[in-house]
Amino acid sequence: MFLMEVDRIIVVGAGYVGLVAASCFANAGFVVGVVEKSEERLNSLREGISPFYEPGLSELLKEGILNKKLTFFSNQKEALEKLSPKYIFCAVGTPESADGSADLTFVEEVLNDTLDYAKEETYFVIKSTVPVGTADLFSTRAHLARPGKVFVVNNPEFLKEGTAINDFLRPERVVLGGDSKAVEEVGKLYESFLLNHRPLIKTDSKSAELGKLAANLMLASRISVVNQIARLSSAIGSDMREIEKILQTDSRIGSKYLYAGLGFGGSCFPKDLKSFVSLCQKMDVDPIVAHSIDKFNDDQKLFFVDQIVKDFPNPTATRIALLGLAFKPETDDVRESPALTILSALEKHGFSFNAYDPKATKNFQTAAKKSDKINYCESLDEALTGAHAVVLVTEWQEFQRMTPSKIAGIFKGKHIYDGKNVLPAKEFVAANYIYRGVGRY
């Protein structure tokens, strides 16, 4: 029996970016090997269990394993020997160093293994978010060590946690930076993902690298600007949801990333902003705008905390139902979650908590400081029981269903703090609750 010849890909790093890319490439028919150092992660992956919650990912993993498109390796050398891949995707972490720049130790290791062990003509694709100039530097090293054999391309990822599979399978655009022959070869992998004339942007590697940081800076800037407007809206007594409508219906402004809230969190915006600032400083460019976006974002969480503190003169006798611990809905990721900052600030004032999240409680318990003031709850009902105030931090759909009549039997407090402006404010006010949103009421 003859089997159809398909390209083989290795993805190094089974984090959000790596695992989503690997599962989606396997789903598209490629043979994919995933390299992951952590034994615990590897064991669960081999059983088709994703190490983190991402809607649809476990299903794709199981399907890939069943179809024999997806296999897992503990080291790159073994994966290269077994699969002889044409493409190596580097999706390992680039943690923040003390000076705000990205630490490239893991990315370097992946390049070194590629240069040492690649047999065939190989395309080394950088998916990790790396400092500008990394692909050029790696390209020079590849050219010196393996001339005409290993080619380097930067391929920034734009997926969002919570909708990662859809973002990867149906990207708005794919960006590839590097020399034209290498970009052409890597571009072939994406043809089937770019139906309906979605663009493949072929560019130089520095533009691709800076473009990634710039996209996150632009999105983050919209959030900080909208939160700035919300603060003024609070002060003058206008309604931020109405202002959002006025902004969003202007096609020049657009409708996305214009929701006021508790500031952005997650592993990307805060880190990429810092990388941007650090790069500006290195290049002697004043980072004043990026800096203000970041600082304003940090303050936004504390601004909300201040309102709560003012309303409760006796915090030690006050229990808060803290709803939403993940940095956003549909994920169990708590990195830079606003809930961590808000809880820690309120705790210093003496408040106690019924904390609840549909998916992220375990990760939050690991990330937050241990405290006997926090009662982790297993349901929304449990969190509301005995609480004096509701503080909604993450807009999980389950929370959005709360109305005065639905919670009346279980929640005996009067204060509702809606950090995402998703609750029916008018209904709460009419039912004599003290409702406070972000830039409204």
Contact between 13 and ligand UGA by CB under 6 A: the answer reads no
Cβ distance to ligand UGA smaller for residue 257 or 303 = 257
Q: E strands within 180-242?
A: 200-203
User: Which residue among the candidates 24, 90, 268, 377 is catalytic per the annotation?
Assistant: 268
Please work out the total of residues on this chain that contact ligand UGA, with binding judged by CB under 6 A.
Answer: 20
For ligand UGA, the binding residue among 20, 135, 223, 342 (CB under 6 A) is 223
Only one of the segments 109-117, 158-166, 281-289, 308-316 lies at the binding site for ligand UGA (rule: CB under 6 A); that segment is 158-166
Contact between 219 and ligand UGA by CB under 6 A: the answer reads yes
Largest Cα–Cα distance in the chain? 78
Only one of the segments 49-57, 88-96, 154-162, 229-237 lies at the binding site for ligand UGA (rule: CB under 6 A); that segment is 154-162
Smallest distance, ligand UGA to C-beta of residue 197, A: 21
Map residues 246-265 to x or -, x wherever contact with ligand UGA holds by CB under 6 A: -----------xxx-x--xx
Using alpha carbons only, what angle is made at residue 173 by residues 169 and 176, rounded to the nearest 5 degrees? 105
Task: Tell me whether residue 377 is one of the annotated catalytic residues.
Answer: no
**Contact by Cβ (8 Å): 123, 151:** yes
**Contact by Cβ (8 Å): 20, 159:** yes
DSSP, collapsed to helix, strand or coil, labels residue 69 as coil
Contact between 280 and ligand UGA by CB under 6 A: the answer reads no
Smallest distance, ligand UGA to C-beta of residue 157, A: 5
Pull the structure tokens for residue 250.
């202007």
Contact between 396 and ligand UGA by CB under 6 A: the answer reads no
Residues between 325 and 354 that touch ligand UGA (CB under 6 A): 327-328
* Strands 434-436 and 415-418, sheet pairing: parallel
DSSP, collapsed to helix, strand or coil, labels residue 26 as helix
Contact between 113 and ligand UGA by CB under 6 A: the answer reads no
**Contact by Cβ (8 Å): 190, 174:** yes
Interatomic CA distance for residues 439 and 441, integer angstroms: 7
Interatomic CA distance for residues 182 and 218, integer angstroms: 29
DSSP, collapsed to helix, strand or coil, labels residue 319 as strand
- Provide the sign of the torsion angle of the four alpha carbons 18, 21, 25, 26, taken in this order: positive
Residues between 39 and 98 that touch ligand UGA (CB under 6 A): none
Cβ distance to ligand UGA smaller for residue 75 or 344 = 344
List contacts with ligand UGA (CB under 6 A): 157-161, 216, 219, 223, 257-259, 261, 264-266, 268-269, 272, 327-328
Q: Which residues are catalytic?
A: 268
